[in-house]
């Protein structure tokens, strides 16, 4: 089979913009819209944002460029990429595929909750001002048996439809629609939030840093948020990079993706925290901010029903742009390693991931009493293994592999298209990937393991 036929089988991005939007979409997900506002709220607002932005460019850009470069150089998915350069390292790619598989199995359960809340917003069921009532509503949803599994299935079918269409015809086409729509919706919500009476306190909290609250915990939380928000360590960017043509400027892409991801995270903070302050709610409300606190906020603002619909549609789009990249990691593995056709690989992996996700859904209800690791049920166990073990370990090993095994000279040569493109910060990037990256990610890894027990 010729290289051309192989490329046609695997697919390629139709344009550089399509790749950037799809890759940014992979990074933009529930971590931006759900986690970033409440983690920022918990860690002092502006101080956390400042530390987050600094770490984003030191660590986020470093690993982003490493993954995309490795994928583009090898033109295969995560396992094959490591194997192609050093056969004994193929297991590192397998960690990424396993992480993507596990994350999607519980991420799609949360995606189902978002779908359910979108329907509730459309029918006016969320027009409740009492946070306690909304808390009971959310608890009732996730602890029931049938409803969350049905929405989990619908969410996986949406992923199946998009990924089934291939790279340019499915993922790229969907990302070109969802990402601009996502930006329009989040800007609308941000504009509405900042025009509420009392919103200025929320903006001050978010953007005026109080340096006295910066602690090692704040720094490590920011580092962890950057790492997990950018979809690093799970093979997504290696896989997406493998569909790039050799003339693509991947340095610009590796800068644009974190910038877009951070823009969404900051806009999410602007869309939520000023509104939370305006109506006297707690900014550090935790995970319940999206499903309990914000519906209560929307219920108290003019045209709140409309903004609730826009918000949950926005969250659905963000969840989908991330989840399709996770499914693609698994599909690309089967296509590349098992030589399956894309259609068979996509349908099979969707069904398996859906089935593995069912225990995660039931772990809040009828299987609540089943504990796997410590006091963790299925959902929390999947999350712990993927987020606390596989992702940071995958990122740490990526730094070691690119910095010391493949070699930074070869990586820079690939990133600059054999020296045809300018990379003035090459020496800085080499230092970051070889030294600072492993130390920073190692700190996150050790802390996450220690905090979990």
- Over residues 154-210, the pLDDT tens digits come to 999 999 999 998 888 889 999 999 999 988 888 988 888 888 888 888 899 889 988
User: Of how many residues is the chain composed?
Assistant: 453
Whether the CB-CB separation of 204 and 15 falls below 8 Å is answered with no
Please, how many CA atoms are within 13 Å of residue 158, restricted to the half-sphere of its CB? 21
Sort 320 into a burial class: Cβ within 10 Å, 0-12 / 13-18 / 19+: buried
Percent above pLDDT 90 for the chain: 42
pLDDT, tens digit, 9 for 90 and up, residues 114-159? 999 999 999 999 888 787 888 899 999 999 999 999 999 999 999 9
Whether the CB-CB separation of 268 and 97 falls below 8 Å is answered with no
d(CA 277, CA 190): 14
Whether the CB-CB separation of 97 and 333 falls below 8 Å is answered with yes
d(CA 6, CA 165): 17
CA end-to-end distance (rounded Å), the chain: 51
> For the chain, which domains are there?
3-368 (1.10.4160.10)
* 331: Cβ contacts below 8 Å, ≥ 6 apart: 163, 342, 345, 346, 349
Whether the CB-CB separation of 39 and 243 falls below 8 Å is answered with no
Q: What pLDDT is stored for residue 10 in this prediction?
A: 60
Q: What pLDDT is stored for residue 271 in this prediction?
A: 85
Mean pLDDT, all residues of the chain: 87
Q: What pLDDT is stored for residue 28 in this prediction?
A: 82
Distances (CA, A) of 374 to 118, 381, 393, 406, 450: 34, 9, 21, 38, 13
Question: Distance from CA of residue 433 to its chain's centroid?
Answer: 21
Cα dihedral across residues 80, 85, 90, 95: positive or negative: negative
- Taking the chain (453 residues) in consecutive chunks of 10 residues, what is each chunk's mean pLDDT? 45 83 84 78 87 88 94 92 95 92 94 95 88 88 95 97 90 91 88 86 88 84 78 85 88 89 87 82 66 82 86 90 92 91 95 97 94 90 86 91 96 89 91 92 81 68
Q: What pLDDT is stored for residue 284 in this prediction?
A: 61
Cα dihedral across residues 171, 359, 99, 251: positive or negative: positive
């Amino acid at each position: 089979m010729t290289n051309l036929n192989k490329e046609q089988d695997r697919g390629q991005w139709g344009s550089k913009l399509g790749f950037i939007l799809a890759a940014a979409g992979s990074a933009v997900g529930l971590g931006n819209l759900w986690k970033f506002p409440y983690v920022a709220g918990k860690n002092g607002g502006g101080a956390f944002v400042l530390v987050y932005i600094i770490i984003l460019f030191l660590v986020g850009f470093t690993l982003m460029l490493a993954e995309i470069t490795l994928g583009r150089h090898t033109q295969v998915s995560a396992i094959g990429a490591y194997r192609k350069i050093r056969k004994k390292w193929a297991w590192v790619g397998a960690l990424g595929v396993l992480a993507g598989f596990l994350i999607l199995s519980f991420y799609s359960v949360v995606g189902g909750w978002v779908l359910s809340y979108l329907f509730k917003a459309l029918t006016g069921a969320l027009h409740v001002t009492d946070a306690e009532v909304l808390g009971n509503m959310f608890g009732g949803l996730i602890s029931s048996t049938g409803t969350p599994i049905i929405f989990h299935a619908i969410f996986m079918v949406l992923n199946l439809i998009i990924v089934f269409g291939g790279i340019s015809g499915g993922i790229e086409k969907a990302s070109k629609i969802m990402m601009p729509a996502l930006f329009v919706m989040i800007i609308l919500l941000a504009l509405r939030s900042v025009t509420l009476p009392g919103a200025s306190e929320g903006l001050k909290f978010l953007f005026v840093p109080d340096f006295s609250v910066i602690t090692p915990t704040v720094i490590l939380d920011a580092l962890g948020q950057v790492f997990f928000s950018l979809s690093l360590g799970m093979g997504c960017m290696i896989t997406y990079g493998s569909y790039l043509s050799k003339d693509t400027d991947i340095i610009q892409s590796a800068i644009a993706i974190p910038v877009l991801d951070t823009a969404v995270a900051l806009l999410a903070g602007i869309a939520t925290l000023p509104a939370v302050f305006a109506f006297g709610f707690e900014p550090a409300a935790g995970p319940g901010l999206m499903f309990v606190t914000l519906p209560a906020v929307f219920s108290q603002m003019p045209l709140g029903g409309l903004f609730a619909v826009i918000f949950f549609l926005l969250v659905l789009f963000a969840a989908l742009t991330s989840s399709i990249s996770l499914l693609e990691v698994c599909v690309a593995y089967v296509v590349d390693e098992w030589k399956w056709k894309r259609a068979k690989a996509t349908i099979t992996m969707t069904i398996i991931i859906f089935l593995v996700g069912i225990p995660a859904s039931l772990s809040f209800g009828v299987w609540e009493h089943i504990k796997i690791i410590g006091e963790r049920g299925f959902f929390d166990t999947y999350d712990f293994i993927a987020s606390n073990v596989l992702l940071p370990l995958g990122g740490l090993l990526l730094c070691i592999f690119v910095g010391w095994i493949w070699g930074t000279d070869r990586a820079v040569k690939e990133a600059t298209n054999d020296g045809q493109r300018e990379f003035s910060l090459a020496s800085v990037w080499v230092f970051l990937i070889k030294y600072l990256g492993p130390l920073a990610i190692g700190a996150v890894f050790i802390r996450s393991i220690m905090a979990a027990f």
